[in-house]
Amino acid sequence: MRLRNLATALVLLMVPLLAHADNFTYNVNDAFTGFSVMGTITTDINTGVVSMADITDYNLVLNDGTSMLNLTPMNSQFELDGNSVTATASGLFFNFDNVNRDVLIFQSPSIGFGGNYLCYQGVEGNCDDFFGAHESVSIGSDGQIVENRSGNLQIASMPVAETPEPESLVLLGTGLLGLVGVVKRRLV
User: In terms of DSSP H, where are the helices of the chain?
Assistant: 2-18, 166-187
> Higher-confidence residue: 6 or 187?
187
Whether 176 maps to a domain, the answer reads no
The verdict on whether omega for the bond into residue 164 sits within 30 degrees of 0, i.e. cis, is no
Instruction: Answer yes or no: are the C-beta atoms of 26 and 92 closer than 8 Å.
Output: yes
User: Residue 70 above 90 pLDDT?
Assistant: yes
Q: Percent of the chain scored above 90 by pLDDT?
A: 60
Whether 53 maps to a domain, the answer reads yes
Whether 48 maps to a domain, the answer reads yes
Whether 185 maps to a domain, the answer reads no
Give residue-wise pLDDT tens across range 119-137.
999 988 778 767 789 999 9
Q: How many domains does the chain have?
A: 1
Give residue-wise pLDDT tens across range 80-98.
999 999 999 999 999 999 8
Whether 80 maps to a domain, the answer reads yes
Length in residues, the chain:
188
- Order of strands across the sheet that contains 144-148: 77-81, 103-107, 117-121, 134-138, 144-148
Please name the residues in contact with 179: beta carbons below 8 A apart, sequence gap of 6 or more: none
Whether 5 maps to a domain, the answer reads no
Give the predicted TM-score (pTM) of the model.
Answer: 0.75
> Which domain range does residue 102 map to?
21-162
